[in-house]
Amino acid sequence: MPHLTSRRHRTSGTELRTGVGVPGYAHPLLAPTEWGALARPGTPLHWVVLNVADGPGARPDPHCLEATGRLRNAGVRVLGHLSTRYGTRAFGELIGDAHRFVDWYRVDGFLLDRCPADHAGLSEVRRTVATLRVIRDGAHIVLGHGIHPHPGYAELADQLVTFSGPWSDYRWSQVAEWTVDHAPERFCHFVHGVPRPHLEEALRISRWQGAATIYFTDRTDCGGRTDPWETMPGYWDEIVSRIGTGVSE
C-alpha cells in the first residue's frame, strides 16, 4: 500500500461524483472503437479532449466533426487541446487555435496542456484563461500541469491536472497540503501503466487525494516512444462499471 497523506475532503453543493476525463484519443479514423464507446449512454464522463493535430489542425476535419457531434448529442463536454509548451508558445498562436476549435468544433472549453506550474507563469496563464473565457462563454478550463502547481493557479481555472504519469510514481505519491482548501471536483489525475489487479488501489488513491476526475489506463509510454492516452484501457468497461455504480466511492 502507498503511504497516503490523510486529507480532509471539502464538499460543495455542486460536487461531482468521480468520473472520467479523457486526455485525448488518437484520430477517430485510427481509434473508431474508442470514440464510439464514449457516446454510450451512462458512461461516467466529465469531459473528452479533442486533439486533431497538436491542436485543431489546419482545416475542419470531417471525421472529428462527426465524432464530436455524437458526443455533444450524448451530452458529453468536449475540450480543445491547447499546448502552452510550458509557457513558451506565442500568445497569438495559442488564441488563434482556440478560435479555430470554437468555430469548427464548437468545443465547450479547453485543456491547456504542458501548462507552467511555477509562480512566474501565473500572470501569462491568467491572461490566457481570461481570453479563452471571452472566446467561449462559459468555457470549462482545465490546466494540465501534471504536478501540483503553485496554489495560485487554483483561482484561474475550473480544474487542475495535479498528476500525470506512471503508476510506479502514483502509488507512492503525496498530495499537496494546500489542496485541502478545495473540493475534489477541482482536481484531475491521469495515470498510465496501471495493472488491472491494482485498479481498485488506484481509485482509492484518487479518492484519498481528492481528485474527482480520473483517467487510468494499462497502456504505457514504452520509454517515451508511444502515447499511452491514445487508445482505450484494456479494462475500460471495468472502470465504467466501478465508477458508474459508485464502487470507488
Q: What pLDDT is stored for residue 2 in this prediction?
A: 43
As a whole number of angstroms, the distance between CA 190 and CA 145 comes to 11
The CATH number of domain 19-244, selected from 3.40.50.620, 3.20.20.80, 3.20.20.70, 3.40.50.720: 3.20.20.80
Is pTM, for the whole model, over 0.95?
Answer: no
As a whole number of angstroms, the distance between CA 89 and CA 28 comes to 27
Domain chopping of the chain, boundaries: 19-244
pLDDT tens by residue, 37-63: 999 988 999 999 999 999 999 999 999
Q: What pLDDT is stored for residue 221 in this prediction?
A: 87
**Inter-residue contact 159 to 188 (CB < 8 Å):** yes
- Mean pLDDT for 83-110 is 97
As a whole number of angstroms, the distance between CA 33 and CA 231 comes to 9
**Inter-residue contact 56 to 100 (CB < 8 Å):** yes
Strand 159-166 relative to strand 213-216, pairing: unpaired
For a pLDDT cut of 90, what percent of the chain falls above it?
Answer: 88
Does residue 15 have a pLDDT over 70? Answer: no
Does residue 80 have a pLDDT over 50? Answer: yes
Strand 19-22 relative to strand 213-216, pairing: parallel
At 202, which helix (H) or strand (E)?
helix 199-209
**Inter-residue contact 198 to 170 (CB < 8 Å):** no
Terminus-to-terminus CA distance in the chain, angstroms?
A: 18
Grid cell listed for 206: 484518487
**Residue 116: φ, ψ to 5°:** -55, 150
- Mean pLDDT for 72-87 is 96
Does residue 135 have a pLDDT over 80? Answer: yes
Confidence of residue 224 (pLDDT cuts 50, 70, 90): confident
Long-range CB contact pairs, 84-89, < 8 A, 24+: 84/112, 84/113, 84/114, 84/115, 84/116, 84/125, 84/128, 85/114, 86/114, 86/115, 86/116, 86/121, 87/115, 87/116, 87/121, 87/124, 87/125
**What are the angstrom distances between the C-alpha of 175 and each of 29, 67, 141, 184?**
38, 35, 22, 12
As a whole number of angstroms, the distance between CA 182 and CA 2 comes to 23
Confidence of residue 118 (pLDDT cuts 50, 70, 90): very high
Confidence of residue 4 (pLDDT cuts 50, 70, 90): very low
Q: What pLDDT is stored for residue 223 in this prediction?
A: 73
As a whole number of angstroms, the distance between CA 2 and CA 173 comes to 8
